[in-house]
Structure 1
Amino acid sequence: MAADHGDPALDILCLPFDTDVLAWPQAGGALFLRARAGVALRTATRPRLICEQSFRPAADALERDGWTVRDASVDRNTHYPLVLALPPRQRDEARALFARAVAQCAPGGTIVACMANDEGAKSGESDLKALCGLSGNLSKQHCRVFWSTPDPARIDADLLSRWSALDAPRMLMPDTDDAFVSRPGVFAWDRIDAASALLVAHLPDDLAGRAADLGAGWGYLSRALLRHCPGIVSLDLYEAEARALDLARTNLAEAQVPVDFHWHDVTTGLPQRYDVIVSNPPFHAQGRADRPDIGRAFIAAAADALNRRGRLWLVANRHLPYEQVLDARFASVRTVAQADGFKIIEAIKQ
């Protein structure tokens, strides 16, 4: 989330330090899980802060502000006197994040987390309390910041073990042709998304050449494209959420054509050209408000990357206003189908 758009949860996460309720550690550094950039980080001294963020636009924003950003799989054995967290709304993923925070909090250290009230703050605070006890909390701007200085004798070892495993990849629908590996928190993590399924049902089998999937998630559309379209000679997956892209690597491990995986913010454009692009573009960022500008940016990126007579196959919620950018950027645009609140569109490049 861009700082210029406001980020109350980040602001309130920093409130205990800005008001001297808590002290920033003088040595040993701090680990920030699901970190986001913003004014609250930039306007105060936060020495030796290490940020983890798997969502590419947020990671890019942190790096632009000069913060050290690392992959979540790196160095999980280091312990920090301060662990900050902006837990996600999905509860299993959030509980796994709390378990990570406890596991990497140094003896005598502090865990500080913040959530918006309408994003599960009450449940998050209750979960951290159950896991390791609470030391304090503050509420402001419809957000709640809460913290713990875990006493090893107070940590619930059974919860810690079980919650640590909640974010692990798991096989879903294992006895079907649509079996896939997923994990809590990624889009449509426990099901085949209805919009993507509708697009797959209408994909023609004559799509051919070099292909790309924009906003590929865990790889459902990509896998279906390769199954239905024997003329596809290579496929690139573009996905902003690294946790989803890791799953896609597993779900497309048996692809019979070259497949590349790109941790990439599609709204910044694409580095290569294609004959075919498929997409179920996101219409939210990391919040819940509609962001049709993201879908419009996906369409513009597709238009720029397609070769002459290249084809875009797109699914979107019926109410999203994409027609203007489609008509402006493509020679031919047609609505192939409308059902269950979604629309399938084919757009052909001049």
Structure 2
Amino acid sequence: MRAEDGDVALETLFLPFIDGSIAWPSSGGALFLRARDGWPLHQRAWPGLRCEQSFRPAADALERSGLPLADEDDTSRVPLVLVLPPRQRDEARALFARALARCAPGGRVVACLPNNEGAKSGEADLSRIAGAVSSLSKNKCRVFWTAPLDGPADAALAAQWAQADAPRPIADGRFLSRPGVFAWDRVDAASRLLAEHLPHDLAGRAADLGAGYGYLASELLTRCAGIRAVDLYEAERRALDLARTNLASFADRVALQFHWYDVTRGLDGDYDVIVCNPPFHAQGRGDRPDIGRRFIAVAAQALRPGGRLWLVANRHLPYESELGAHFPRVRTVAQEGGFKVVEAVRA
């Protein structure tokens, strides 16, 4: 796999080491923030490389490839920090600040972004807190790196940016959220529509697939007194940590479990109710309806006979055939604002 059909940002990130623009550290190791697996990580040995990733499918892929995952609580400093910044700018700025904090004296930070995902802005942001950077462009991406560092060039701004993605109240203080998680600064309109149509007679053991910061699970527990347990499954650990806080007030009434987990791998659960606003993107921009279809199949396998799936999705997403293949009873409950709410009952 090469740039034309692979992860071009990952490939471009390693170009300065391949062409000799900068040297890989001979000792002390390297930390890769928001790491993704791919052939550039295996084209040669990268001594001492450790990877950090909060998105479970990507973390699983790194582990399957034999790449060691770093402990996110580790604050040790290393001579090289690699970064694939996210698209959300506050989150990316916080990541740049953390990269500088993890960089040992004399070390470098190296980052890469696609041109159409803010490469110039990312380069400018890193230079604001780290000083002058060098860069090269290839594969419609830009990789940029600092000079050897002795702390941030603007320590006050770096400290400010380190808190740029900190949790904060949203929805009139009802929830905590943070930049970078799905619909981070609001209640998602599709999830709200689903919540408004949840029947009050839902009861028993429930699961929320793709739980985010916990909105749907909170609405389910608020509206349905018969729910006695909820398992929340979420692939993004930053969102799941928020859900723990946002549902803490229900812990004395129901059994809550929080799973940092890739739902597409299947579930061993045995549920009466599943609620779901399935993701239809992975870490890229394109639609991925296959993820939603897999969520439907997994939900069907995890429901008890007579169990009910309540799902919301964009109206254009082709989920009907998957629903029909797994559920004998499927009905569209509502269509509004470009979304559809569906109830499916297992035989």
Normalising by structure 2, report the TM-score.
0.96
Aligned to 1:38: 38
Given that residues 205 and 228 in structure 2 are in contact (C-alpha distance below 8 angstroms), is that contact kept between their aligned partners in structure 1? Answer: yes
- Are positions 1:322 and 2:319 aligned together? yes
Given that residues 132 and 150 in structure 1 are in contact (C-alpha distance below 8 angstroms), is that contact kept between their aligned partners in structure 2? Answer: no
Give the letter for the 1:122 counterpart: K
Give the distance between the partners of 1:163 and 1:153, measured in 2 at CA. Answer: 14
Aligned to 2:263: 266
Shift of residue 115, structure 1, vs aligned partner? 0.5
Given that residues 134 and 146 in structure 1 are in contact (C-alpha distance below 8 angstroms), is that contact kept between their aligned partners in structure 2? Answer: no
Identity of aligned residues (%): 64
126-135 vs 258-267, greater mean Cα deviation: 126-135
Residues 9 and 153 of structure 1: CA distance in aligned 2, closer, same or farther (over 3 Å): closer
What aligned pairs does 1:31-70 form with structure 2 within 5 A after superposition?
31-70=31-70
Aligned to 1:135: 133
- Are positions 1:116 and 2:111 aligned together? no
Residues 4 and 321 of structure 1: CA distance in aligned 2, closer, same or farther (over 3 Å): farther
> 1:81 pairs with 79, 82, 88, which one?
79
Find the residue that maps to 1:254 and give its secondary structure.
helix
Residues 111 and 232 of structure 1: CA distance in aligned 2, closer, same or farther (over 3 Å): same
- Are positions 1:186 and 2:181 aligned together? yes
Give the distance between the partners of 1:116 and 1:305, measured in 2 at CA. Answer: 39
Give every structure 1 segment of 4 or more consecutive aligned residues whose post-TM-superposition deviation is greater than 6 Å: none
What aligned pairs does 1:1-350 form with structure 2 within 5 A after superposition?
6-72=6-72, 74-76=73-75, 78-152=76-150, 155-174=153-172, 179-255=174-250, 256-350=253-347
Given that residues 208 and 230 in structure 1 are in contact (C-alpha distance below 8 angstroms), is that contact kept between their aligned partners in structure 2? Answer: yes
Give the letter for the 1:135 counterpart: V
Find the residue that maps to 1:107 and give its secondary structure.
strand
Give the letter for the 1:237 counterpart: L
Shift of residue 138, structure 1, vs aligned partner? 0.9
Residues 237 and 161 of structure 1: CA distance in aligned 2, closer, same or farther (over 3 Å): same
Give the letter for the 1:106 counterpart: A
Find the residue that maps to 1:68 and give its secondary structure.
coil
The runs of 5 or more residues in structure 1 that have no matched partner are none
Give the letter for the 1:101 counterpart: A
Give the distance between the partners of 2:328 and 2:230, measured in 1 at CA. Answer: 24
Give the letter for the 1:112 counterpart: V
Give the distance between the partners of 1:34 and 1:75, measured in 2 at CA. Answer: 15
* Number of residue pairs the alignment of both structures matches: 343
Find the residue that maps to 1:25 and give its secondary structure.
coil
Residues 281 and 4 of structure 1: CA distance in aligned 2, closer, same or farther (over 3 Å): farther
Given that residues 272 and 308 in structure 2 are in contact (C-alpha distance below 8 angstroms), is that contact kept between their aligned partners in structure 1? Answer: yes
217-226 vs 140-149, greater mean Cα deviation: 140-149
Find the residue that maps to 2:317 and give its secondary structure.
coil
Give the distance between the partners of 1:120 and 1:4, measured in 2 at CA. Answer: 20
Given that residues 102 and 150 in structure 1 are in contact (C-alpha distance below 8 angstroms), is that contact kept between their aligned partners in structure 2? Answer: no
Shift of residue 71, structure 1, vs aligned partner? 4.1
Give the distance between the partners of 2:152 and 2:203, measured in 1 at CA. Answer: 60
Give the distance between the partners of 1:148 and 1:290, measured in 2 at CA. Answer: 35
Given that residues 113 and 141 in structure 2 are in contact (C-alpha distance below 8 angstroms), is that contact kept between their aligned partners in structure 1? Answer: yes
Give the letter for the 2:282 counterpart: A
Give the distance between the partners of 2:62 and 2:4, measured in 1 at CA. Answer: 13
Given that residues 133 and 150 in structure 1 are in contact (C-alpha distance below 8 angstroms), is that contact kept between their aligned partners in structure 2? Answer: no
306-315 vs 145-154, greater mean Cα deviation: 145-154
Shift of residue 42, structure 1, vs aligned partner? 1.1
Give the letter for the 1:299 counterpart: I
Shift of residue 149, structure 1, vs aligned partner? 2.3
Shift of residue 64, structure 1, vs aligned partner? 0.5
Given that residues 114 and 144 in structure 1 are in contact (C-alpha distance below 8 angstroms), is that contact kept between their aligned partners in structure 2? Answer: yes
- 1:185-216: CA deviations, max 9, x gaps? 00011000000000001110011110000000
Given that residues 63 and 69 in structure 1 are in contact (C-alpha distance below 8 angstroms), is that contact kept between their aligned partners in structure 2? Answer: yes
Normalising by structure 1, report the TM-score.
0.96
154-163 vs 49-58, greater mean Cα deviation: 154-163
Given that residues 272 and 303 in structure 2 are in contact (C-alpha distance below 8 angstroms), is that contact kept between their aligned partners in structure 1? Answer: yes
